[in-house]
Structure 1
Amino acid sequence: MKFTVVGSGAMGLRYGVLLQEAGNDVDFVDGWQPHVEKMRQQGGVYVSRDHQDRHLVPVNVYYPEEYAGNPDCYIFFMKQMQLDDMLKRCAHFFKPNQYAFTCMNGMGHVEKLLNYFKPSKVIAGTALVATVLNGPGDVDFIGKPGAGSMNLANYTEQPDDFTHQLVGQLDKAHFHPNLTTNFMGTLLAKVVFNSVVNTLCTMFEMTMGEYADYEGANDMSRQLIDEAYDVCERAGVQMLNTRQEELDSVNYVSKVANPLHYPSMYQDMHHYRPTEVDYINGYLVKLGRKYRYEAKTHAFLTHEVHLAERGKQRELAQLSAAEKRQLTA
């Protein structure tokens, strides 16, 4: 199959590189100039696995304005707040017969994709996969080959032949895809997971394993999960997991699968970038208010993250020009 990855950061590179290694034709599109130029200069992207075996993987990378490929499927991996602008930059090469597939964090991206792709061509999912972009042209896949799992569903909840072909290629690439016919339940399962692990690990600057080892972690996780499930039930969403299964998933991924991993929200905060908290905890707050329910803990955490962002921006303003340049070197 022919894929084009739009947004070639940590997760985009992981999906694209592994699908390429599984025998597919893959292009990469990105708008971050230092990243694109570095990959072109070195002839590809350097890939490590758990900080070891760093090696160069050749990739074809393009800016949106210069791309003219014709893939079967686009794979979108952007930050929520960056997607709208990237879609506008890419609109000139979208075609009616092409599919859009995404496993982006948070909620809000599907509505934007539907402005460019037919509902029958949109497939979305969630990925419990840990990856770190060390810098331009340098990515680290966290976990052993085959680590992690993912769920996906058609927007129409009616899988077609292409969907099953996509699942087959994702399986060949060792992503362990699970196809469901519950679109909102599939997406919200990851939102709830991230609303616990991403947010708390970011606020307290710790790995997933360090959080899970805290004696009060179960109580904290359960409070956030219960509140999120109260919201989803009022919205009429049938979740994939029970509340206990969601808690078990948080503990397994944090303690066993990726205990040394700093979640993506932490990475954004650490590098002075805006976080996606409004699309995760903040989304649950807004959804709850739509059904006259106050998700108070999620609202409090959303405010906490925004306060921490202000502190990081103050810290950034105090850095020297050389230190600021080093952040994107």
Structure 2
Amino acid sequence: MEDSHFALAHLGGDWADTAAFAVFDGHGGREVACFCQQRLPVVIGKQPRARPTAALRKAFESMDELLRVPEEQSFLRSFTGTTRGGNTLREAGRVGCTAVVCLVQSKQLVVANAGDSRVVLSRGGVAIPLSEDHKPNLPAERVRIQRAGGNVDRQQIGNFIQYRVNGNLNLSRTIGDLDYKRNLSLPMSEQLISSTPDVMLFDRTEDDEFLLLACDGIWEAISSQDAVDFIKERLRGVSGAKAPLSTIMEELLDHCFAPDLISSGGIGGDNMTALLVLLQPGTCRPYPEVQSSQASQFSSSGTASWCSCR
């Protein structure tokens, strides 16, 4: 399992009125995803509250800076299994993760994204995407990659077409993957692979119902609208703090898992992580407990957590 996540009732300090949720989808190993789970909320909490967009951009870029610090490299190594060896900085060079973060406040949502994990808002039953996947074939991403001296290669595997940076990574923005970020003449936002996130602010409305944050293992198997419909159907008869939301998330993961990876073409066999956050108008007061559950099938595994902000 290379995914990680956090679900925090508040960040503390200047961000005491802010709940924070994130999903990290690791590749090449779990180290960077686990590193971000521990370090990113702390770094966000130290940023100025008055400028949330700048705060999240700085926090994301700081992760790559921390991965180069010798003291932090030993912390990164603590997430390495006994079967993995080698120099920690080299591991950070070939290991990375996507990151999608949603800060929930009483009047607005702040979303930062780097990679292809995604956050979707259910507003009156309609799925509203709050982030855009960062893939190498997107025009703006391709231009940056080429300006940094890289190539975007088209690969077809069966019926599926993928685009990869220099024939390898199928993402254009990640945390980690430091081997792609060694051009000292370029700022972080212009590197071959960038950790600079897109950050968007959204006003909350009375029709906002819940947020679903998930890695691409979920979104490859179900559309945003179908996921919203799936959850809403199971929420109709649920009320109060005793609601079995963790059960709903387990059912979502089971729905996305493929019983036969050969017939599905591999869809439904990736790592899967999802967070469900219930929203109610007014203040942001999450329940004091955050429940989590795990499920596995074949080589896939997933985590489902929930929290209610009202």
Provide the TM-score with structure 2 as the length reference.
0.26
TM-score under structure 1 normalisation?
A: 0.25
Larger RCO, structures 1/2 (Cα 8 Å, 6+ apart): 2
Higher strand share: 2
